[in-house]
Homo-oligomer: A and B are copies of this chain.
Amino acid sequence: MFLLILFFFSLLSCSCASVQDFCVADLSLPHGPAGYPCKNPAKVTVDDFVYSALGVAGNTNNLIKTAVTTAFTAQFPGLNGLGLSLARADIAVGGVVPMHTHPGANEVIFMVKGTITAGFISSANTVYLKTLNEGDTMIFPQGLLHFAVNSGNTTALAIVSFSSPNPGLQFLNYALFANNLPSELVEKTTFLDDAQVKKLKAALGGTG
């Protein structure tokens, strides 16, 4: 038996010490196209693989009555390089997840509770719209505009999965109206009226 133990230890010391089953992000180093460099495996503990912030409801006390809490690589470094991430969406009664895209990932939501009406729009301009109840799952393909509204009478909770640890998130309103993109360009490229653009720029802190 002693020899067997020795065998295994020597075998593993030569081949497994170098194996990389995971790559917990070292956020202090610059990332690259495939993600962050890995934290030294010898310093990785189980806590690098566990994250608790998705267990806490976001604060929906805002105008859209919705909170989105993400567990992407930046929040949950253990996901680095693993090809998936999570988020939670709390949507109070009357709440809205505004029109947005994820440039870098496909998405699937699971309704933990409540009722929402959700949809996405394809490149062929077709609308895929559905009312989802507790236990329902829905797919939103990568890069396509999608949205949800609480269509029930309780706060809704959805757990969201993405096919990348870095899905990206572009809110349409914020992209158009909350920066210094000149109003004239917004109007020319969206056909929105000048008054409309200026009203939303004012509301969202945009200039130009």
Residues of A within 8 A of B (CB): 1, 3-9, 11-12, 14-23, 26, 29-41, 45-47, 49-52, 54-56, 62-64, 67-76, 78-87, 96-99, 101-104, 106, 108, 110-112, 117, 119-130, 132-145, 147, 149, 159, 161-164, 166-176, 178-181, 185, 188-193, 196, 199-200, 202-205
Contact = CB atoms under 8 A, between A and B. Distances in A.
A171 B8 contact: yes
Given A20-B166, A125-B12, A143-B142, A119 B31 contact: no
A35 B87 CA distance: 26
A129 B35 CA distance: 26
23 contacts: A1-B203, A4-B62, A8-B173, A14-B75, A19-B168, A19-B169, A21-B143, A21-B144, A22-B141, A32-B32, A32-B36, A46-B128, A49-B140, A55-B134, A84-B161, A99-B190, A103-B143, A110-B159, A143-B143, A145-B175, A147-B185, A172-B190, A196-B196
Nearest to A40: B30
A149 B20 contact: no
B16 A185 contact: no
A18 B162 contact: no
B19 A136 contact: no
Contact of A191 (B125, B128, B145, B173): B173
A84 B84 contact: yes
A149 B123 CA distance: 22
A185 B127 CA distance: 12
B74 A18 contact: yes
Given A185-B117, A189-B96, A50 B137 contact: yes
A160 B104 CA distance: 21
